[in-house]
Amino acid sequence: MRLVLLGPPGSGKGTQAARLKVELGVPHISTGDMLRAAVAAGTPTGLMAKAVMDAGKLVSDDILLAMLEERLSQDDVKNGFILDGYPRNLAQADALDHLLAKIGQPLDAVVKLDVPNEAIIARCEIRFAAEHRKDDDPVVVRDRLKVYAEQTAPVADFFERRGKLQVVNGVGELDEVTARVKRALADESAAANG
């Protein structure tokens, strides 16, 4: 299963990916984790990313794509993967489409976790109070939601036009949301094989 999880920050993508990787037997690939690992390992792309981050800039789409290509060439992704945090914009979605075509591993499904902004802000406020993570600060979350609406939300339309998008209600108990995601994947698989 080659899967992309989409959704706004705080929608539960990472949590669902961690649960699904065990069930599907494929690695969870988070671009944030990938960046940190490449920098720590000192790979050529990691060194480029480190220079950009040390200068206080965002890592370019080209660097992220190169890192993703390196990651997708590893043996543990032969049977699939779960991408979380990528693509974040239309240029990345198009680049991913081309990369996967080039390596002969097209996406099986894209699942968008649908969670209202108010629910995300409430979730993040609870985490912020407990863990004091800067990215859970309600002011930061509102800014991140605005960026998501402008840049990442159109990615869902990109995949919907390709017949890959499944939208899942991301509100509720973890087990309920996981069950909804699994049903959506089963529906996508049945449609692809039907």
Give the mean model confidence (pLDDT) for residues 23-45. 88
Average pLDDT, the chain: 91
Indicate yes or no: pTM above 0.85: yes
Encode 2-19: b = buried (16+ Cβ within 10 Å), e = exposed: bbbbbbbbbbbbbbbbeb
Cα–Cα dist 87/94, whole Å: 9
Query: From CA 175, how far away is CA 75, in angstroms rounded?
Result: 30
Q: Can you say how many angstroms the Cα of residue 117 is from the centroid of all Cα atoms in its chain?
A: 18
Mean pLDDT of 133-146: 87
Quote the CA–CA distance of 177 and 14 in Å, as a whole number.
Answer: 13
Residue 79 contacts by C-beta under 8 Å, 6 or more apart in sequence?
1, 25, 26
Residues 72/79, Cβ–Cβ less than 8 Å? no
SS3 category, 142: helix
Give the pLDDT score at 159. 96
Helix (H) or strand (E) holding 166: strand 165-169
Sign of the C-alpha dihedral computed for residues 29, 35, 41 and 47 taken in this order: positive
pLDDT digits (tens, 9 = 90+) for 160-177: 999 999 999 999 999 999
pLDDT digits (tens, 9 = 90+) for 48-75: 888 887 777 778 898 889 889 988 999 9
- Angstrom distance (rounded) from CA 31 to CA 69: 12
Is residue 18's pLDDT more than 90? yes
What DSSP string runs through 24-66?
A: HT--EEEHHHHHHHHHHHT-HHHHHHHHHHHTT-PPPHHHHHH
Q: At residue 194, does pLDDT exceed 70?
A: no
CATH number given to 2-193: 3.40.50.300
- Using DSSP's 3-state secondary structure scheme, residue 169 falls into strand
